Structure 1
Amino acid sequence: MKKVLFALLVVLSACSSNKPTEPYSITNVAKTPEGAKMDVQLKGRLTRQQMLDIAGNIRNDSSHYEALDLQFLLPGNSYKNSGGIIVYAMAGYPKPGIVTAKDTVRDYDNKILNFQLIGFTPEAAKHLLSLSPSEMAGKPVLGKFIDDAAGTISIIYDDKKDGQYYIIEMDADGNIVSKIQPMAITHNGIQKLIVSQRGDYMTVKDSILTMYSIDDPEKPFRSVKEGI
């Protein structure tokens, strides 16, 4: 009898165990009337299924919350940005017994949830990063930055021969959205690329592109990481 009970416990433990996933961390938790809202920091872009598996693990580890809302974030975000964080994908577990029309997905434990991918898939991002406008052939690339919120990629060139920076912004289809020749200045030891007549500017440091608005020039507005 003891052997039977032990075997049953082993089976139950295996059924409720978490699934191996790509690395992630919880960077923010806020309680809601129904449960909790969490920010999930990823190391890079993941597939829909990979994020659903992470959601399943978090749901298992957070069973004390009736409902759970998850925001998946890519590297480069900052809670200090006045423009807020850029959400890559969202998942939500409804309160037990309450299911809406958007709750159409099931995780590996067969729990129902909703899921929405907001940013580019790994495949789409790879295509964007491969883009190289022919008119800029031969010019050194400082970095390629995908902005999931804008749905574009910005390619920054640093042409030391003519002492000029160039920024080409392209959409998901490879169409050029904008071309800018920013004015580069150094202020308090920080190089700034002025990208508008108003004085809005960008900085590139440690592979992070940070955008600033002239309305609040000392506070970053949005930031994205190079090559993701």
Structure 2
Amino acid sequence: MKNLSIYILFVALLASACTKKNIPHYTIARVTKSDTASKVIVNIGSRLSETELLSIAGKIKADSATLTNLQVYYLLTGHNEKSTGPNNFYATAKYPSAQLATMQDTLKDNDGNVVRLKITGLSAQVAKKFITLIPKEISGQKILGHFIDDNNATLIIPFIDVVDPQKELHLLELDTAGKVVSATIPTVVNKDGIQQLMVTQRGDYITLKDSILTQYSIDDMGLPYNSIKSGL
């Protein structure tokens, strides 16, 4: 019965997850419920502001009165909630119970409910400036994408040197000031039809497919550490 009630709630939230006035478009990815919290994962298509994130949280809160201790997790396109890295989500919004709310909880949604919002990803303003960085090292090269790594606040740019007869792939990583913090020529390994780009001696690697860069750690037994879609 518990699984059935969660399914019914998921369908109801899914039906209501549409674009309304002053509420950015979002979709419900998953709803889970435990004895201590109700977790809703939503897909968002861009880096939203605090006000926009609160409007989504408030909409979900209003549509799901039966969910106790609601927690909303915002997932950017191309990111994977099952990655093993520390910050898979762009932001989280948590509604504390009345017993746990304190005087420091001053942030509220549009309906006046106390909410704790934490944004871990780079803002849209920072990302827009970040994505335009083209250091002199790659001027005129074939750029394969601009990948913002929110875990490290860096920009990863894979490119191919057009004058290199071997057409080797290069990886350049920049900080928010545009300084190069890493420059790598990965070793290419083809395994089970997948091109793995080895970036460390111990075997950490990345893959590039459909404008998504996925990072893998040798410690995680094949699970992705992080995945990033090119662009904002």
Band the TM-score falls in, shorter-chain normalisation: 0.7 to 0.9
The one of 190, 196, 221 aligned to 2:194: 190
TM-score for both structures, normalised by structure 1: 0.84
Q: Which amino acid aligns with 1:192?
A: Q
| SS of alignment partner, residue 224 of structure 1 | strand
Task: Tell me what 2:151 maps to.
Answer: 149
Task: Tell me what 1:164 maps to.
Answer: 168
- Displacement of 1:53: 0.5
The one of 212, 217, 226 aligned to 1:213: 217
Structure (1/2) with the larger strand percentage: 1
The one of 53, 56, 74 aligned to 2:55: 53
- Displacement of 1:227: 0.7
Asked if 2 retains the 8 angstrom alpha-carbon contact of 1:66 and 1:96, the reply is no
Q: Deviations over 1:85-132 (max 9, x none)?
A: 611111111213541255221111122211111111111111110111
Change (3 A) 1:61 1:141: same
**5+ residue gaps, structure 2:** 1-19
Residue 179, structure 1, aligned to residue 183, structure 2: yes
- Displacement of 1:83: 3.5
- Displacement of 1:197: 1.2
The share of aligned pairs that are identical, in percent, is 38
Moved more, 115-124 or 175-184: 175-184
- Displacement of 1:58: 0.6
Q: Which amino acid aligns with 1:189?
A: G
Give the count of matched residue pairs.
211
Q: Deviations over 1:35-93 (max 9, x none)?
A: 41221211121111111110110110111123211111111122443447611111111
Q: Which has the larger radius of gyration?
A: 1
TM-score for both structures, normalised by structure 2: 0.82
Q: C-alpha separation between the residues in 2 aligned to 1:83 and 1:103? A: 28
**5+ residue gaps, structure 1:** 1-17
Asked if 2 retains the 8 angstrom alpha-carbon contact of 1:151 and 1:171, the reply is yes
| SS of alignment partner, residue 106 of structure 1 | coil
- Displacement of 1:213: 2.1
| SS of alignment partner, residue 110 of structure 1 | coil
